[in-house]
Structure 1
Amino acid sequence: MENEGTLIETCVTVNYAFVNEGGAGSYSLTSSEDARQVTIYLWNNLLSGHSSNRLLGNAVLDGVDFYIEGVSNLHWDDLARYLKGYSKRGKKVYLTAAPQCPFPNAWIGDALKTGFFDYVWVQFYNNPPCQYTQGALSNLEDAWKQWTLSIPATKIFLGLPAALQVAGSGFILAIDLSSSVLPAIKGSNRYGGVMLWSKYYDNLDRYNSSIKSHV
């Protein structure tokens, strides 16, 4: 991100409230106890717990985003359960996830079934069987219905690339999004809005500005 200072400085502005768990790389949970230990670490070092060496200083994040795409699909449901359990201590711990659009999700499908997730921003790109292609809405619409009818999250978001160069496929022109895609999916009571990747390219192309009034 441009001109936002250090990670710590950015977090204490309260404009960003989640820590991302996962992404590219080799990572896994070996057991339910492993998930519990990771939860304790996240709570004490990034959320509302206490530690002498908190990773972001005095910044206190509101939740954890699950971006899991590799190695193992085991025990992410345990991690979600343990993290959500800390909500009983007074401050709600928000859980979000960013799965790819094929349903069911191969990596965190079991975790998403728990009902512990507040928001799920599904990546409807780089997967032709469940994304929009110009003039053809059915694949995305069918996948959207699967996600919104099957996952007990509070809100589901339509995840899209913010510019043509961000993804290999799945970019939707603003005119197509506003005239075709959004009218087809906004009727769901699970519709939460549109998630864009990435902020860097959105700053360059201002895609969000061209769609905001329609979202």
Structure 2
Amino acid sequence: MNFKCTMPRTAAFALLALASVGAQAVTTYGDIATPGVYFGTGGVTNGNWTISTDSGVELALRAKNRETFLLLDGSSGTYTADLGLCATCTGAPKAMWSYEFSVNSGALTGLTYRLGIDHDPSAATSYAYVDPSTYWSDNAIAPAPFIGFQNSQNVRFGDTPGGIFDVNQAGLYSITLEAWNGASMVNSVTIDVQVGPVPEPETYALMLMGLVGVAAIVRRRRAGR
């Protein structure tokens, strides 16, 4: 089961380190992907990636404002995006934010990949997975000697894994990228995207009280049977 956490990333990784020292490479935030692999042409800007480089494979994710093309700050571990449709975008309707992924496998061959998109705005996750290396036909391919690919996708596009996003639904969404060598996952990276306003602590308290009340009603009904 997957859960999203809004605690500071430093605290989260401190707890993770205690549980599994040396199990994975540390994820970096607000980082730069391998220079020269995909960037330098077409006006694409490097930076603000969330990156993991475990097992010599570089996996990177980030979010971007689709209206301004500005990269969203991911240095805290969570990207913050606006609700709604992009008012100035041309062509098909687009959400105010896009997500981007980058894979650099170095010299490793024979790997497979999974990209998961979370459609659950709550603290839980519900991923829809695709193979990003083949699912999109317009990936930017890394030149030799690198093995990798990169793309930018909007959550309003019809080919969004799991279907088009409800762009007016505020919440905390996750995107995960994995590299597999046969049946073994060799690396993974995940980002959270907070779309719309962050609920105030009072809101969380009211939600918790409501859940407790519902549970109490269910218990009383069962006891009366």
TM-score w.r.t. the length of structure 1 is 0.24
Greater RCO (CA < 8 Å, at least 6 residues apart): 2
TM-score w.r.t. the length of structure 2 is 0.23
Higher strand proportion? 2
Higher helix proportion? 1
- Whose radius of gyration is greater, 1 or 2? 2
